[in-house]
Structure 1
């Protein structure tokens, strides 16, 4: 499998595309006016404690107050009691050092924790956690053991009695194959970084930012570079030079794969990335077989419906359904990554009678989701053919980043038909005629509604004029949406 990363940098926006075998898999977007804040550490001030929810609102200097639950407060978690009261540890007006775990989404503020951590290329450092872990994506047990032993050796060297320090570390997926010198350099870097953070924690008042994560194009080098990566192309010379300096210090083996892209053709036109992004904003996803997916994103959950469409198969109905579901499993896994859909996801596979077919489709979905770096949990296939799953959400979906609710339908996804609006006009005319005496009324409406009133509904208009004893005139308002109208007394 070949993998490339394309980085498009402009003064107002940075976009990163992860392409596998010529097909877009993931998109990351960061805008200068609305940067993601996951990983940032703030000095916050508790503005309200909610004992009924075991949570609190914290002002960290953002537009909306942020939210922290009792389970995310380190001192409460250390008590080991399920019934510890949040009021025993924090109070209104208290200063609290917190880290963002989830960006603000919709009307909700950022989600916070006091379990602080900072990251490097190979490690995540967690002060006071007392835990040494290895990424679950490193599945070779010998390699996991080697890394754990190597880290224990490095950490014992830093203590006087040779014991393990009270702090915690997690070896990231990128640490697979890393040597002792590389891990030791990362430990030293994280220790220096944490000392700088501690100095700011003591010095800066609330609310203020203590530590800000790297910009997107730099985080890409730290978080998205995986074994098998062939090339990283960047279309900004300044950003390329910064990434090259970063790689020189921390990722020397990556420098040969970095490439400045000066081409006249926009970098996102390579591999049709722009077209793929546009398609990812639609509800319908076509499958090669002729089947399709319908993806609907709501406030509570995302639903995915699979249909055979034009695919009629070659053998029998059960085989056709099975093949469509198998293809859909791979396609929807890619769509979840591409669209960055999170939270609860309900997948409505086409009903399969054969239990073996259901097992194979579920296994195909699990294999396809193994490539996803977001944490996922999948249930079995129900009797109705439904699969429930969750995918960890830390940032807004692609649709929420690029789009806003339609001002015509207000996010409903549909408009009242001209026929429906015509009948609403008739009811409003009757209401006005009963309340006020007038010999003439003027209806202002959209072109589609006026056309129907003068054509299909002309007989009804004539009957209404006779009933109320007044003439009715119509005027097209170009600025009105299909649902808008006004009835004016003349």
Structure 2
């Protein structure tokens, strides 16, 4: 399995695409006017404590106050052995929020989830700073090794090396997947970098004003190289000479063995066009996803959850109905895993597979889904298939989905996905005319509406207009306005 990282840079926007065997798997977007806040560390102030929610609202200089839950507030430091999947021991009970913080209190916090929709950013005081091979946990004594490092001897070696660092400086560490096979010297360089980064935060914090940013994560190109550069990444192609220079300088310091894989792309044809990435991004903004078999998925993202419906479409199969459904669901499971990464969908996800009778078929579909989700860097949890063929799962979300980054609600329908028919709007106008005549004196009424609505009124509803004029004793005129949407109209008294 070969992978490539493509980095496209324009003056106001940077995009990173992860392409696997010629197929787009992930897209990350960062705009100069609206960089994300995930991973940044701020000086904050508690503005409101909510005991009923075990949470507090914190001012950190963003448009909306951020959210800090009691479970994300550091208490007594503990030493735990764990993987990135979570602690092996149950955490101690969380004290009441008003015992942990008070209104007006200033504290150092980190953003662990960007503002999404109408919700503010989510914060923690459990600071973590990532580097190439390690994640520093300065307020914890946690020691951990990525669950993706499966060799037990290698896990034990890395755990021993990290233990020495932890004993020396009293901090916790998590060993990242990229650390597999690295020497203790390479890990020690990462420790020095992380120590300096945390020391700068500590030095700035006391004198900083509320809302001051104490630490900012790397820009998107450098983050992508740091986090996504794995053994099977054959090339990193960057279409900006300046960004390439910065990336090479970063690699010389933190990953000198990877420099030869980082290339500058000078071609005239746009890099994303060369790999078909632009077309794939456009497809990722649509609701329907075709399957090779002839079936298709329908993906609906709402505030509460994302639903994915699987349909056989034009796939007729070759044997029987059960086999047709099974094959469609298997292909759908693979496609769903890819679409979740590509669209960066998170939170609660409900997948409505086509009903299957055979229990073994259900197990195979679930295994296929879990197998392809294993490639996802985001943490996912999949639950058993329900009797209705529904699979509930969660995917950790730290930033907005691709659609919410690149699109906005339609001004015509307000995000409903539908608009009122011309007939419906006609009858609304008739009611508004009646309401206006009863409230105000006027001889003539002028109705401004979209051409389609005016055509409907003056042709199919002309008899109704005559009846209304006789009933009200008023003259009614209609004027088409090209710039009006189908639901928009005004009734003017003359």
Please give the range of the TM-score, normalised by the shorter of the 2 chains.
Answer: over 0.9
Separation of aligned partners in 1, 2:357 and 2:199: 61
Aligned match of 1:86 in 64, 88, 97? 97
* Residues 1:216 and 2:220 are matched in the alignment: yes
Number of residues of Structure 1 aligned to a counterpart in Structure 2: 482
1:248 corresponds in structure 2 to 252
Query: 2:84 maps to what in 1?
Result: none
Superposed CA deviations along residues 91-113 of structure 1, whole A, max 9, x for unmatched, are: 11111011110111122221111
The TM-score, its normalising length taken from structure 2, stands at 0.94
Alignment of 1:82-481 (within 5 A): 82=93, 84-153=95-164, 159=168, 166-435=170-439, 439-481=443-485
Q: Deviations over 1:372-409 (max 9, x none)?
A: 11111111110111000010110011111111111111
**C-alpha distance in structure 2 between counterparts of 1:225 and 1:95, whole Å:** 38
CA distance in 2 between counterparts of 1:422 and 1:300 reads: 34
The corresponding residue for 2:13 is 13
Q: Distance in 1 between matches of 2:107 and 2:143?
A: 26
Cα deviation, 1:351-374, whole Å, max 9, x if unaligned, reads 111111111111110011001111
Structure 1: unaligned runs, 5 residues or longer:
160-164
**Alpha carbons of structure 1 residues 260 and 94: separation in structure 2 relative to 1, 3 Å:** same
Give the match's secondary structure for 1:75. Answer: coil
In the TM superposition, what is the alpha-carbon distance from 1:146 to its structure 2 partner?
2.6
Matching of residue 63 in structure 1 with residue 74 in structure 2: no
Counterparts of 2:181 and 2:118, CA distance in 1: 43
Per the alignment, do residues 207 and 465 of structure 1 end up closer, same or farther by CA in structure 2, a change over 3 Å counting? closer
Q: Take 1:414 and 1:359, find their aligned partners in 2: how far apart are those partners? A: 38
> What is the DSSP-based 3-state SS (H/G/I as helix, E as strand, rest coil) of the residue aligned with 2:205?
helix
- Shift, 1:334, TM fit: 0.7
3-state SS in 1 of match to 2:431: helix
Deviation, 1:76, is 7.1
Structure 2 portions without partners, runs of 5+: 79-90
SS of the aligned residue for 1:346 comes to strand
Q: Distance in 1 between matches of 2:103 and 2:412?
A: 43
1:224-264 deviation digits (Å, cap 9, x = unpaired): 11121010011111110010011111111211111111111
CA distance in 2, matches of 1:436, 1:23: 64
Between the aligned partners of 2:140 and 2:56, the Cα distance in structure 1 is 23
For 1:206 and 1:450, locate their aligned partners in 2 and report how far apart those are by CA, in whole Å: 56
**2:37 & 2:2 partners in 1: Cα distance?**
31
Structure 1 partner of 2:86: none
Q: Measure the CA separation in 1 of the matches of 2:465 and 2:299.
A: 42
| Whole-Å separation in 2 of the counterparts to 1:200 and 1:272 | 45
Give the drift of 1:75. 2.1
Name the CA distance, whole Å, in 1 between partners of 2:61 and 2:387: 49
Partners of 2:334 and 2:299 in 1: CA distance: 14
The answer to whether the 8 Å contact 2:141/2:166 transfers is no
* Residues in 1 aligned to 2:158 and 2:94: alpha-carbon distance in whole angstroms: 37
Map of 1:24 onto structure 2:
24
Q: Partner of 1:37 in structure 2?
A: 37
Q: Is the 8 A contact 1:41 1:209 kept in 2?
A: yes
Does the CA-based 8 Å contact 1:76-1:89 persist in structure 2? no
Name the CA shift for 1:452/1:225 in 2 (closer, same or farther; >3 Å): same
In the superposition, the TM-score normalised over structure 1's length comes to 0.94
CA contact (8 A) 2:166 2:172 kept: no
Deviation at 1:448, TM superposition (A): 0.9
CA contact (8 A) 2:71 2:94 kept: no
Q: Which residue in the other structure is 2:50 paired with? A: 50
Which residue of 2 is the match for residue 162 of structure 1?
none
Corresponding residue for 2:72? 72
